[in-house]
Amino acid sequence: MNNNLKINSVTIKPVITNKDLKKFIYLPLQIYEADSVWVPPMWSSEYKEYRDKKNAVLEHSDYQLFLAYIDERVVGRVIVYIDYNFNKFYKTQTGFFGAFESVNNPDVGASLLQKAEKWLADKSMTSVRGPIDPVAEKWGFVIDGYDHDQIFMSPHNPAYYNDFVTNAGYSKARDLLVYSADMGDSYRMPDRFKRFSDFLLKNKTNLTIRKIDLKNIASEAEHIWKIMNTAVSGNWGYVPIEIDEVKNIVKKLKAIVDPDAILFVEDNGIPVGCALGFPDINRIIKKNRGRMFPFGFVRFITGLKKIKDYRLWALAVLEEYQGMGLDVLLYAKLYKALLPKGIRMEANYILEDNVHIKNALLKLGMVKIKKYRVYEKKIDI
């Protein structure tokens, strides 16, 4: 059986050897050579996850990496996969693509997408959604706000990627929004929210707020897992989170945790909500060009305390506690802790139809700065 697909001068081949894998991982250097916004991944970490197949999503998925060639030159890449947990939960036959990169050649984009669809069709999938990168934890293509910096664990791409997928028959599945508040500039949280949080804590003596306990990180990860699995269960694209996935994320972030930015609200000592913020280490990664050694680790350690950009990765409250203002309570405490540091906080991956969160962020004075788009398409079998 011939695994190669050829359209005009473009040939698509599966990644088989370690040499192929290195080509796959380092291709972005070619795509973003002149792009001042792009930040490389941590090369060694990404290579290890693919090589050792120790990724929380890929461990329960069927997947394949592909490279696009023109003559002998690598000009594009994509990962295509079937997340069996997703399909079991939604009772569907959906496949995904991610890690999409391509030179500005429509034939390359079309070839990669066609190969991904063919691979999924051969495995009886009826639709495809993406980009959702299971290794880099990135959702969507940037469709608005290209000039804003790329924060850690968020996508960046040339505008023409959106043309590639729409020309291939993909349509919008959902937009994900990004909001920003710069405490080092002119942003100040409206006083009424501080007054409300003080009032709530005074009158609800069963409620307390605390920082993450780094000495008990495993149990803290379980608290996050329990809260996230119930608090966001109604969101688009939600799949019950495996504890291993949470531990994988916590492991990635442990080295950069700022205890002031990870908070729990508790009811009589039981965590019922959490705010998960972390420093944007992309500033350091960019200076290190994605490499930890020989001097990157020293720059990483010394640079952490100087970071002024943070990402609010999640703010979640158990369903039975929603509507009480615990989200405002968490945000107010987060604001109070980070204001002296002059932090710019970016709330990322806000679903466009999550009206409650969108309105809350706007009322808090945050400004929308960027938009990502996830696409989908029916597959003809």
**Would you state the pLDDT for residue 363?**
87
* CATH code for residues 188-365: 3.40.630.30
Q: What is the CB neighbour count within 10 angstroms for residue 316?
A: 22
CB distance 88 to 94 below 8 Å: no
Residues in the chain: 381
* CATH code for residues 5-174: 3.40.630.30
Tokens of 8: 């005009």
**Would you state the pLDDT for residue 294?**
53
Q: Is the pTM of this model over 0.85?
A: yes
Could you state, in order of their start, the residue ranges of all structural domains in the chain? 5-174, 188-365
Q: What is the pLDDT along the chain (381 residues), one digit of tens a residue?
A: 456 666 668 999 999 999 999 999 999 999 999 999 999 998 888 888 888 777 778 888 899 999 999 999 999 999 999 999 999 989 999 999 999 999 999 999 999 999 999 999 999 999 999 999 998 889 999 999 999 999 988 999 999 999 999 999 999 999 999 999 999 888 988 999 889 999 999 999 999 999 999 888 888 888 988 898 888 777 887 777 777 777 767 766 677 788 899 999 999 999 999 999 989 988 888 887 777 655 555 566 666 678 889 999 888 899 899 888 898 899 999 999 999 989 999 999 999 998 888 888 888 889 999 999 999 999 986
**Would you state the pLDDT for residue 229?**
84
Question: Does the N-terminal peptide bond of residue 106 adopt cis geometry, omega within 30 degrees of 0?
Answer: no
How buried is 32 (Cβ within 10 angstroms: 0-12 exposed, 13-18 middle, 19+ buried)?
middle
Question: Does the N-terminal peptide bond of residue 28 adopt cis geometry, omega within 30 degrees of 0?
Answer: no
Q: Do domains 5-174 and 188-365 have the same CATH topology?
A: yes
Pick the closest to residue 97 from 42, 173, 185, 45 (CA basis): 173
How buried is 190 (Cβ within 10 angstroms: 0-12 exposed, 13-18 middle, 19+ buried)?
exposed
**Would you state the pLDDT for residue 293?**
56
**Would you state the pLDDT for residue 237?**
78
Question: CB under 8 Å to 41, separation ≥6 — which residues?
Answer: 25, 28, 136, 285, 290
